[in-house]
Homo-oligomer: A and B are copies of this chain.
């Protein structure tokens, strides 16, 4: 059967200095191979598009090796097993793994673990939710907030990128844990949704003009910020540093405002970092892969919240592998509304 299939792929053609555009990618096709003994063949259904992907394009030491030139672009996604020579996976199984930006992937037995291929239960959540609250963004939000942030009832939690994948999990989870939650997002529509649909106490529109973030933090965090979950870096991080409370915890999850700088590093560091000293506060980085052993615990808890309606999720689904270059960049322009998903095939 597989002999007749063609695999469309997106490969890295050259490294971008700033925003990656179509010229940095190469579209290839190749026949789909049969899996060898112990291997599986997975058909990609939907891929997760995340800010971190931009970092993987830089030829720099980081928490994960860069994507190599000519390599299929790395991406996590949900798929279906379409051929299997491994007793742990049956044809028709829904799976999550590092499928890559391509229609099919053959994973050899020795690569299954590194790929992170796991069966998922589509009764616990939709494909979109498995890429969102129950996927890497949700895991990032869960362990960042719970392990690094350690929220206590009554504390004030601020989260940037509030309408994004990580932000929506962080904010809703913090509400469930009894915190006052203030989001930061771009535009009135996102802010309205975050407050009205997700139940945040307030949301600051960072696009509302000069001084909007400063004024919003002052208004909505009168006792200061106990936990800041930072997805954006830049000027917003500095504004929050100026408003932190005694013993605050700042979770450094990302810095989307900085990822497309020419030299791949922030244009400036947080000038207000000495606020950490004055307030005996800490700023700590998190990489979600460190918590892989505990994903099932988090998934079970979060799936429960989805089921009983205490948590909602929103995905922004774009169709078509060929739209990948432009779709990815919606993240950096703040154009996505909810978790950005690239649908490669219908289930």
Contacts and interface: CB of A to CB of B under 8 A. Distances in A.
A282 interface: yes
Nearest to A266: B271
Interface in A52-94: 61-63
B282 A282 contact: yes
Interface string A209-235: 000000000000000000000000100
A160 to B, nearest CB: 14
Interface string A236-280: 001000000000000011110010000001111111111111111
Contacts of A61: 278
Closest 6 CB pairs between A and B? A269-B269, A277-B285, A282-B284, A276-B285, A269-B270, A269-B271
Nearest to A283: B283
B273 A273 contact: yes
17 contacts: A62-B278, A63-B278, A252-B277, A253-B277, A254-B277, A266-B271, A266-B274, A268-B271, A269-B271, A270-B270, A270-B273, A275-B285, A276-B283, A278-B287, A279-B285, A280-B285, A283-B283
Contacts of A266: 271, 273-274
A286 interface: yes
Instruction: Specify which of A253, A265, A273, A290 lies most central, judged by the most chain B CB atoms within 10 Å of its CB.
Output: A273
Given A268-B269, A269-B238, A269-B268, A274 B258 contact: yes
Contacts of A286: 277, 280
Nearest to A60: B278
A198 interface: no
A152 to B, nearest CB: 18
Number of copies: 2
Chain A: number of interface residues, binned into ranges? 20 to 34
Contacts of A273: 252, 266, 269-270, 273, 283
Contacts of A282: 282-285
Interface of A: 61-63, 233, 238, 252-255, 258, 265-287, 290
A258 to B, nearest CB: 7
Given A267-B271, A276-B285, A278-B287, 8 more contacts: A63-B280, A233-B274, A254-B277, A265-B274, A268-B271, A269-B269, A280-B287, A283-B284
A298 to B, nearest CB: 17
Contacts of A276: 252, 283-285
Contacts of A275: 285
Contacts of A233: 274
